Amino acid sequence: MKTLPESLQADFGRDGFVMLPRFLEPSLNSRLRASVELLMEDVYTAPKKWEAEALYQSQCQPDQLAHLSGDQRKNAEAMLYIVGRLTRHLPDVKALLASRSVVAIAEAVLGEEVRLHFSNLTLRASRLGCGNAWHRDYPNQFCCGADERQLRLIICLDGMAEAQGAVRVVAGSHHWTKAQWATFKRSDEAKANGDVRTLGCPPGTVVALDCRTAHSVLPNISAEPRANIIAQYGARSNPLAVGDYELECNESESE
Ligand SMILES: O=C(O)CCC(=O)C(=O)O
């Protein structure tokens, strides 16, 4: 894995996100992609076994599939969307998310030791992958620290082309007040005030995202699927107020 750029903290502080293109070596990226593929096959083959972890696009908000019509939407609803608690199912993902190189990204931006809150696999199926409206990850009702000192790492195993369901961010929006965020959400996107960036990137890229950065996801209208590993880390001195740690403390120690 690559070393971190010296400008990481300054860039993250200014923009509320940082992209680390090809952070994962191609061989590691391919191994992880193959593990994820096997996991997906198992979920589709034995859905009962995965009931507690798997979320399908049928469980999305209606607006997430609004770009599709009739039969296409029906097909899209059957697609796997999220598989939760990934570190419990894939040892290579657990090793990755506890590795010094990856933990160092979270520590560099949060300025202290961190703990892994949760991980998941987020999928956008080829041609049928749903989008996401603009949102912020803090606060959230699923897994959230007492304060905002947490971030998400988005590990882009397939990369993200714009048509492949790329994440978009508003640079600098982590500094917005609640009122600025409310105004942005209310406004028609075309007229909204903000420096919107589409995070197109090659496979193996890691995106670090401040939990207050406004972001959305485009639907996947391309012929390529895309799989991201999402991991939320929080400062060790910011205990979870909502939800449970995915790993016990001694399990989540980095090597
Ligand atoms: O599709 C993705 O990878 C990003 C998902 C997302 O917006 C989130 O986890 O908050």
pLDDT at 254: 56
User: What is the pTM (predicted TM-score) of this model?
Assistant: 0.96
pLDDT at 177: 95
Nearest CA to ligand 1 atom 8: 137
pLDDT at 19: 98
Which atom belonging to ligand 1 lies closest to the Cα atom of 209? 10
pLDDT in tens, 129-175: 999 999 999 999 999 999 999 999 999 999 999 999 999 999 999 99
- With a Cβ cut-off of 6 Å, ligand 1 is lined by 122, 132, 137, 154, 167, 215, 217, 228, 230
Q: 3-class SS at 117?
A: strand
How many angstroms does the Cα of residue 7 sit away from the middle of ligand 1? 24
pLDDT-derived band of residue 37, with 50, 70 and 90 as boundaries? very high
Q: What does the mean pLDDT of the chain come to?
A: 95
| Stronger pLDDT, 185 or 242, i.e. the higher one | 242
pLDDT at 193: 73
pLDDT-derived band of residue 190, with 50, 70 and 90 as boundaries? low
In a 10 Å sphere around its CB, with 0-12 CB exposed, 13-18 middle and 19+ buried, how is residue 164 labelled? buried
How far apart (Å, rounded) are the C-alpha atoms in residues 41 and 36? Answer: 9
* In the predicted structure, residue 250 carries a pLDDT above the cut 80: no
Over residues 13-42, the mean pLDDT reads 98
pLDDT in tens, 44-99: 999 999 999 999 999 999 899 999 998 999 999 999 999 999 999 999 999 999 99
How many angstroms does the Cα of residue 122 sit away from the middle of ligand 1? 7
Report CA dihedral (33, 23, 131, 141) to the nearest 10 degrees: 100
Edge to edge, the sheet with strand 150-156 lists 17-20, 205-210, 150-156, 226-235, 114-124, 80-84, 54-56
Q: Which residues pair with 206 in a beta bridge?
A: 20, 155
First to last CA, the chain: 14
Which atom belonging to ligand 1 lies closest to the Cα atom of 152? 9
Q: Domain spanning 8-236 has what CATH number? A: 2.60.120.620
Over residues 210-224, the mean pLDDT reads 97
